[in-house]
Chain A
């Protein structure tokens, strides 16, 4: 228990340090843009593929449930709303953990083990500012782009499956989407994804920066990153759902 609290505290302190550096330091804009480009470019195909199949699975499940009520025309709206609010951010967060989180942790860990951070320190600049901060911000910003790509792929996947599996034509699939997909759903999906990406960025940079013990240590850091960030994502998913619910209640009562 104390170990858990200890590591939680270390992560929070690391996060605060990164936030403080973001506002006061002059890291190179070039580095940040470079990171955003690499991360987006590397993960977009994976995310699009995952999104496509997530949309397809959601369509199959909703088809099975709606068939009994003869409400198949609502299929598009319900499947899309479910994906945007909940399943999309969650599964895309999982895939990002495996792809971006593990990659960043292993990259930073390798740098640490080959003493590149010490070399940067010797040259009189701060490795956190030079190396870690652009990656941290890059992950957060590019996860927004990746989420948009994944969600559009999921609509496409649902549409294709709806047309071929359920015999709901494309027009009918798309027609009910605006009715069910209200602004607050999109907002809550993006908020969730933002929270997940901040968590992921903190965990993977922290674990990568604090690697010890050779090649085995790098492997251990990658495993730790994946486990901590996935468990954190599921927990935060519940927390954000819960707080959104309460917020909506408060707003309704204020009106």
Chain B
């Protein structure tokens, strides 16, 4: 495993040779999953607004604070983590099954024979592309979910959009947005590292490919949740 980490990260030294691959992977990661992710994130934003209005009514008998709280929750947690979990299922599982079927059909051995380091050729471009792609996706997803929650709170809770932005500005600072992008970068590093690892260590045969994909999705989601906890605890010192 240390061998794997070492070779994949050392591959960054030669990343300029693989520039076209990086672009291709960014297209696969960010562009092809963008529609699904934006739809899901805006649904999550709608639910957040409705739920926080339920809790507000329970505690302070009014929902005038909903904009601030739901915007904070979206920026600090939901935007990044929902995007990352969806990317794990789509991109992570895709990478794991791709690399595993390359391994099963001995294409990776062929790369070795050609004198190409397979870690540098396969893993390093994916890591760079995934970090960049996840940051881009999370930035756009945050903005989209803020707009969605504005529309929902003006329709369902009759909070005027002007009031929404005012309340939001009182709670949210630029820090929150920046920290969510840092989180996105870390999640973007985790996804290809785990899925390519399970792809490289997969066993022969059809069941090997399936098992590699399953394990990579599970491990990546657990790692994302744990690292989200750590980052939240760490960032909470700065607020």
A residues contacting B by CB (< 8 A) are 46, 49-50, 53-54, 56-57, 60-61, 63-65, 71, 74, 78, 81-82, 85-86, 91, 94-95, 97-99, 102-103, 105-107, 109-110, 113-114, 165, 180, 214-216, 218-220, 222-223, 226-227, 230-231, 234-235, 237-238, 241-242, 245
In the bound complex, CA of A139 to CA of B163 (Å): 46
Number of A-B contacts (CB under 8 A): 166
Name A107's closest neighbour in chain B (CB-CB): B210
Interface residues of B in 175-211 (CB under 8 A from A): 205-211
Cβ proximity bits B34-64 to A, threshold 8 Å, 1 near / 0 not: 0010011001101100110011001100000
Cβ proximity bits B60-98 to A, threshold 8 Å, 1 near / 0 not: 000000000100110011000010011011100110111
Asked if B101 CB lies within 8 Å of chain A CBs, one says yes
Interface residues of B in 117-144 (CB under 8 A from A): none
Given contacts A50-B222, A64-B239, A215-B209, contact A226 B93 (CB under 8 A): yes
Name B239's closest neighbour in chain A (CB-CB): A64
Cβ distance B46 to chain A, nearest Cβ, rounded Å? 6
Query: Can you list 15 A-B contacts with CB-CB less than 8 angstroms, sorted by A residue number?
Result: A50-B225, A57-B77, A78-B55, A94-B89, A98-B88, A109-B206, A109-B210, A110-B210, A180-B55, A214-B206, A219-B213, A222-B213, A230-B40, A230-B86, A231-B40
B residues contacting A by CB (< 8 A) are 36, 39-40, 43-44, 46-47, 50-51, 54-55, 58-59, 69, 72-73, 76-77, 82, 85-86, 88-90, 93-94, 96-98, 100-101, 104-105, 205-211, 213-214, 217-218, 220-222, 225-226, 228-229, 232-233, 236, 239
Given contacts A57-B228, A60-B236, A215-B104, contact A230 B206 (CB under 8 A): no
Q: Once the chains bind, are A53 and B225 in contact (CB under 8 Å)?
A: yes
Cβ distance A110 to chain B, nearest Cβ, rounded Å? 5
